[in-house]
Amino acid sequence: MNAPERTPMSLLPLVPLPVSLAADGSAPFRLDAGATITGDADAAATLARLLEVRTGIAPAHAESGAIVLRRSPGGTAESYRLTVDAASVVVTAPDAAGLFYGVQTLGQLVAQGDAGFVIPAATIQDAPRFTYRGVMLDVARHFFPVETVKAYIDRAASLKFNALHLHLADDQGWRIELASRPALTEVASGTSVGGDPGGFYTKADYRELVAYAAARHMIVVPEIDVPGHTHAVGLAYPELGEAPVISEEIRQTVRDYGGELPTPRTPYEGMAVGFSSLKIHDEATYDFLADVFGELAGMTPGPYLHVGGDEALGTAPDDFAEFMRRVTALVADLGKTPIAWHEAGSAAGLDEQTIGQYWGLRTPTDGMDEKARAFVRNGAQLILSPADAIYLDMKPSAESELGLTWANGPTSVERAYAWDAAEIIEGIDERDILGIEAPMWSETLRTLADLDAMAFPRIAAAAEAAWSVPLGTDALRAWESFRDRAGALAPLWRSMGVALPASDEVAWTAG
Ligand code: TNX
């Protein structure tokens, strides 16, 4: 007797892994040209677009249909339920975000059968582990046009990320137009690392990105990194910047990667960090911050403004503390929640709502865990970005031309996957963690193809860390399963235009 044709549950290509998943191998739903979608109009439009990209079939929205997308009370924020059988596909969710995530899961289930596209019979119940699930894009070291950022939003949203952190300014360039401080983009936006051209987002561009992200249930978290990483500010407003502090480390970076040492009033095109600072004891600095964060707050519907605070290596600890205290208070007074890199945890008197973003290693070094714990002692939470796991700018292999290695790189897909949020910092558990974020620094990255080559499939490992149950608590929440599930998503990702990199670790399904 032949075994019934079925998709084993463990092979359903779902990333991030849903909370519960049952597939009995009964007959699948056949997606044909006559299929129609009924229910929530936004979710229906999202699903029709997704199916058209994946299969060429764009089901119409109709009064009744075999595919049902419906809001219904019950369940936690962003959760959804999905049932598929031969006759129907039903997604229900208590909110619009949940419906959107149910639709993304549906998109991952679509498979090419012998006689056209099918959706395997399944029952799924799902909800996120963490409320903040972020990706970061550094648009300062290299500038990425609006279309590239939109493509990155599409990739992230399909993996159920809900925050896009934009690193909008650094030593190498200022990337956001502000009416209060026009010189920033007029004078300091034209350059990038390595002499590449720069660029900036107009206020209309930024609005467009915020709206594009919102339509995919993502907030934008703008970062203006201060007091360090501000050489570009000094080009536009020389009176606000200290002279560069040139350490031996900076000389070494210049020897390793080329370029010039930073010089005041000259655009900086190298890759060194930690030499620049705003003047801490000059009220003009705080007038500048009030203008910049005030205008950004008005342009940003999301609840967070990121104030940076990392690698202020030339700034004395007391000065750094005073500065971080003032800038976080300023952001809080604007009605926004500040986020700062973990270094700011050393500053006494930080606004107590300030979220810390930990970017140390999976096993903390140099007291970075202690700085991170300080945010929690203040009563706030942490975002975790362990650099030797989910810094997507680390080389994926020793041969990669793209990427850096400082965080114990190269970083394999397995290493990006096999860690758990609650295990990183001693004394920090589930309730202290707001979420997970995977940063993409762009010193070596210039194009969307570069971003894809670095992100895939490690971005999917970060998504699973952010959304799914803790590592090892479900038989499928394990490296071997993830490897197979991610590999089987290749047809969907390719249909979205992702340029998947060759991988020794993950076998990409053809198609
Ligand atoms: C460290 S992570 C930085 C960035 C670099 C990145 C490169 C962090 C808060 N600071 O300035 O771009 O490493 O991986």
CA of 440 to the centre of ligand 1 (A): 9
CA of 138 to the centre of ligand 1 (A): 9
Grade residue 9 by pLDDT with cuts at 50, 70 and 90: low
Grade residue 495 by pLDDT with cuts at 50, 70 and 90: very high
Helix (H) or strand (E) holding 126: strand 122-126
> CB of 250 closer than 6 A to ligand 1?
no
> CB of 391 closer than 6 A to ligand 1?
yes
Grade residue 8 by pLDDT with cuts at 50, 70 and 90: low
What pLDDT sits at residue 43?
98
Tell me which residues are annotated as active site: 311
Q: Which ligand 1 atom is at minimum distance from the Cα of 170?
A: 11
Taking CA atoms only, the protein residue closest to ligand 1 atom 14 is 441
Give the chain's mean pLDDT: 96
Q: Which ligand 1 atom is at minimum distance from the Cα of 442?
A: 12
Q: Which of 273, 342, 384, 437 to mutate to test the pocket of ligand 1 (most atoms within 8 A of CB)?
A: 273
> CB of 392 closer than 6 A to ligand 1?
no
CA of 122 to the centre of ligand 1 (A): 42
Collect contacts of 263-266 with beta carbons under 8 A, ≥24 apart. Answer: 264/234, 264/238, 265/234, 265/235, 265/238, 266/235
Taking CA atoms only, the protein residue closest to ligand 1 atom 8 is 310
CA of 76 to the centre of ligand 1 (A): 35
Domains and CATH numbers, the chain: 20-126 (3.30.379.10), 132-483 (3.20.20.80)
> Does 6 score more than 60 pLDDT?
no
Q: What is the Cα–Cα distance from 170 to 141, expressed in whole angstroms? A: 7
Taking CA atoms only, the protein residue closest to ligand 1 atom 7 is 441
Q: Which ligand 1 atom is at minimum distance from the Cα of 311?
A: 10
pLDDT digit string, tens, across residues 245-302 = 999 989 998 898 888 899 999 999 999 999 999 999 999 999 999 999 999 999 999 9
What pLDDT sits at residue 3?
37
Helix (H, G, I), strand (E, B) or coil at 184: helix
What pLDDT sits at residue 351?
98
> Does 97 score more than 60 pLDDT?
yes
- Residues 395-410, mean pLDDT to the nearest whole number: 97
- Residues 121-137, mean pLDDT to the nearest whole number: 98
> Does 116 score more than 90 pLDDT?
yes
Taking CA atoms only, the protein residue closest to ligand 1 atom 6 is 441
pLDDT digit string, tens, across residues 331-376 = 999 999 999 999 999 999 999 999 999 999 999 999 999 999 999 9
> CB of 441 closer than 6 A to ligand 1?
yes
CA of 441 to the centre of ligand 1 (A): 7
Q: Tell me which of 6 and 42 has the higher pLDDT.
A: 42
Helix (H) or strand (E) holding 448: helix 448-455
Which is it for strands 80-84 and 122-126: parallel, antiparallel or unpaired? Answer: antiparallel
> Does 5 score more than 60 pLDDT?
no
> CB of 359 closer than 6 A to ligand 1?
yes
What pLDDT sits at residue 113?
87
> Does 10 score more than 80 pLDDT?
no
Q: Which ligand 1 atom is at minimum distance from the Cα of 407?
A: 14
Q: Is the pTM of this model over 0.85?
A: yes
Rounded to 10 deg, the angle between the 146-158 and 96-109 helix axes is 80
- Residues 11-29, mean pLDDT to the nearest whole number: 94
Q: What is the Cα–Cα distance from 299 to 287, expressed in whole angstroms? A: 19
Taking CA atoms only, the protein residue closest to ligand 1 atom 10 is 310
- Residues 317-322, mean pLDDT to the nearest whole number: 96
Q: Which residues pair with 442 in a beta bridge?
A: none
Q: Which ligand 1 atom is at minimum distance from the Cα of 443?
A: 12
For the chain, give the percent of residues with pLDDT over 70.
98
Q: What is the largest CA-CA distance in the chain?
A: 83
